[in-house]
Structure 1
Amino acid sequence: MKVTIHQPEHLPWLGLLAKVAASDLWIVLDSVPYRKNYFQNRNRVLLNGEQTWLTVPVEAPFGTLIRDVRVAGTPHWLRRYRGRLVQAVAGTPGAGRLEGLLALIEAAAPGSPLADLNLDIVDWLFPQFEVKVPRVRASELSATGSKSGLILDLCRTVGADEYIAGPSGRDYLDLAAFADHGIRVRFFDFDHPTYPQGGSSFVPCLSAVDAWSRLVQAELPLLLSRYRLSDR
């Protein structure tokens, strides 16, 4: 069984969708500390040709685990978020199909878990790209350790024989330890596709909502096929 492990990003980018689609199981890494100013509570869309952040305010004191991060009661954030998202998809084919996503964002009450919101969005977004891979939360498993050791123990816990790692795994994974437990490690490198964005130059690495809004659904799964798997 091929397993990938990744934190629950907010409005994830195409590369995460592609890595999950290449796997048999996604372990949602919600049992590690929240990383401030990363992609767990925000992501980028294209607004008037410029990269613009959509951000969910959170309550996350230092050391808070991702599973325990809560949506903050910051005034007016939802109105600002909604306005930017609606403007970003205005004039695209997806403009009239945004209600489902907006409903999920608007249901994010103060005090609700950020991870739940992110995974609700995943449940809406992944089917648009025909990603049907099951998932399990790391916090539901009995794995222990940190860094490479935690990843290895998570793989062992679910019976993986192959782990699909992101490029950064080359810097910290103990490949010998994985080999000792009969688990092959393969590194996933995503070749970002281009598609019409209405500007003179293409802006990569945005939320997958950008591609979803601009293309017809039949074209979306093809965007996830541009990747390479290697042992080193």
Structure 2
Amino acid sequence: TLRHMYGKASKFDEFAEAVEHLYSTANMSLLSDINHHFLTGINSLLEIDTPLSWSTDFNATGNRTERLISICKQANADVYVTGPAAKAYLEVDMFKGEGILVEWMNYDGYKEYPQLHGDFDHAVTILDLLFNTGSDAINYLKSTANVGI
């Protein structure tokens, strides 16, 4: 449970009730709906008001890469930022052909913060940041907004 893993974190009590509420109200059947629930909920906790768009908001067709390009074009985006796992399937030349730059996110350079166990681990959930830094979490995110891009 969250309490078992993070109960001793210095800022656990600051966000525990709100995060537990997110879990208890995530009674959707589709993973995409659960993701939406958590993304909007965490954004609210961090007072992030950036509008979110979903692929279903767009009329995208074709294979994986074509759909992403279609979404970028419909959103008037000329840069597509993605995680390193997409290197296995993304057809970067197709993006270039459409005038869209692909940038790869690298998570290793995030500002370190005190964690509960051992050396700093970059590959953790946003909940780790919340429970270890509390309301200062947003400042960690802002300080590393362009890390690895």
* TM bracket, shorter-chain basis: 0.7 to 0.9
Q: Does 1:221 align with 2:139?
A: yes
TM-score (norm 1): 0.54
Residue 128 of structure 1: how far off its partner (Å): 4.1
Aligned pairs, number: 145
Residue 153 of structure 1: how far off its partner (Å): 1.6
Distance 1:200 1:89, change over 3 A: closer
Q: Secondary structure at the match of 1:135?
A: coil
Residue 222 of structure 1: how far off its partner (Å): 2.1
Residue 209 of structure 1: how far off its partner (Å): 0.5
TM alignment of 1:101-180, pairs within 5 A: 101-109=19-27, 112-180=29-97
Residue 138 of structure 1: how far off its partner (Å): 0.9
Q: Secondary structure at the match of 1:197?
A: coil
8 A Cα contact 2:105 2:148, kept in partner:
yes
Residue 203 of structure 1: how far off its partner (Å): 3.4
Q: 1 or 2, which has the higher helix percentage? A: 2
Q: 1:18-37: per-residue Cα shift (whole Å, max 9, x none)?
A: xxxxxxxxxxxxxxxxxxxx
Q: Secondary structure at the match of 1:136?
A: coil
Q: Distance in 1 between the 2:51 and 2:110 partners?
A: 24
Q: Distance in 1 between the 2:133 and 2:54 partners?
A: 31
8 A Cα contact 1:105 1:117, kept in partner:
no
Q: Does 1:198 align with 2:127?
A: no
Q: Distance in 2 between the 1:167 and 1:98 partners?
A: 31
Structure 2: runs of 5+ lacking an equivalent: none
Q: 1:129-149: per-residue Cα shift (whole Å, max 9, x none)?
A: 454322222123210112222
Distance 1:209 1:169, change over 3 A: same
Distance 1:116 1:95, change over 3 A: same
One-letter amino acid of the counterpart of residue 161, structure 1: D
Residue 197 of structure 1: how far off its partner (Å): 1.7
Identity of aligned residues (%): 21
Q: Distance in 2 between the 1:207 and 1:132 partners?
A: 20
Q: Distance in 2 between the 1:140 and 1:193 partners?
A: 34
One-letter amino acid of the counterpart of residue 112, structure 2: T
Q: 1:138-191: per-residue Cα shift (whole Å, max 9, x none)?
A: 123210112222211221222212211222333433333222222222222222
TM-score (norm 2): 0.78
Q: 1:98-149: per-residue Cα shift (whole Å, max 9, x none)?
A: 212212211233x643322222221221244454322222123210112222
Q: 1 or 2, which has the higher strand percentage? A: 1
Q: Distance in 2 between the 1:94 and 1:155 partners?
A: 38
Q: 1:187-231: per-residue Cα shift (whole Å, max 9, x none)?
A: 2222244321233333331211011011132344324516122xx
Q: Distance in 2 between the 1:88 and 1:98 partners?
A: 12
